[in-house]
Amino acid sequence: MTAGPCFGCGAIVPDVDGPTHPYIHSSAGCWKKFGEVQAQESRRFGYPPAHRLVVDAYAAQHPGDGSDRRDRQSVFVHLVALCAMLERGLAPASATRLLGTLVHLQGGFPRLERDSGPGDLTVLHMLDAPDYEGYERRAREWADAVWGSWAEHHETIRKALAAGG
Ligand SMILES: [Zn+2]
């Protein structure tokens, strides 16, 4: 099977035909890998706290062009979640509750464009972690890399978080 880089995150993934998400923009091979990561996570660790970071990192690393409101909302909300957990140390469950308050952000969701690359780590970082501690550490490393790739919008996100939380 041939492989190539995902247009969203750059991960080298199998070149396959298959389903993708309507507003998380990845190649089909990358979406498949994300599915494998989630299946592995669920089988090995149930529904662990790191799940939230994994989902937020994946979604924030695969923005669309922002022309669809759902694209803008998805990237924005997942970045707020990353900010809440990484910078403010919120527990995943608290971050999830907080996001509920963001659905009605005044003025709608701005279009955020990523000037730098997608970050050094991808969903592939999450496969075959030695144990749950390693899985959580990898999730945090990946999430840090993704959050860092949106540096020019950190202030916007922090403000939204402060307003919502
Ligand atoms: Zn990807």
CA 127 to ligand 1 center in whole angstroms: 14
pLDDT tens digits along 3-24: 999 999 999 999 999 999 999 9
CA 9 to ligand 1 center in whole angstroms: 4
Predicted local distance difference test score (pLDDT) of residue 125: 98
Residue 155 lies in domain: 3-164
CA 163 to ligand 1 center in whole angstroms: 31
% of the chain exceeding 70 in pLDDT? 98
Residue 165 scores a pLDDT above 70: no
Cβ distance 57 to 82 under 8 Å?
Answer: yes
Q: Looking at the 3D structure of the chain, how many domains does it have?
A: 1
CA 165 to ligand 1 center in whole angstroms: 30
pLDDT tens digits along 28-77: 999 999 999 999 999 999 999 999 999 999 999 999 988 888 999 999 99
CA 62 to ligand 1 center in whole angstroms: 6
Cβ distance 146 to 82 under 8 Å?
Answer: yes
Cβ distance 26 to 20 under 8 Å?
Answer: yes
CB atoms within 10 A of CB 6: 24
SS3 content of the chain, % helix, strand, coil (to 5): 55, 5, 40
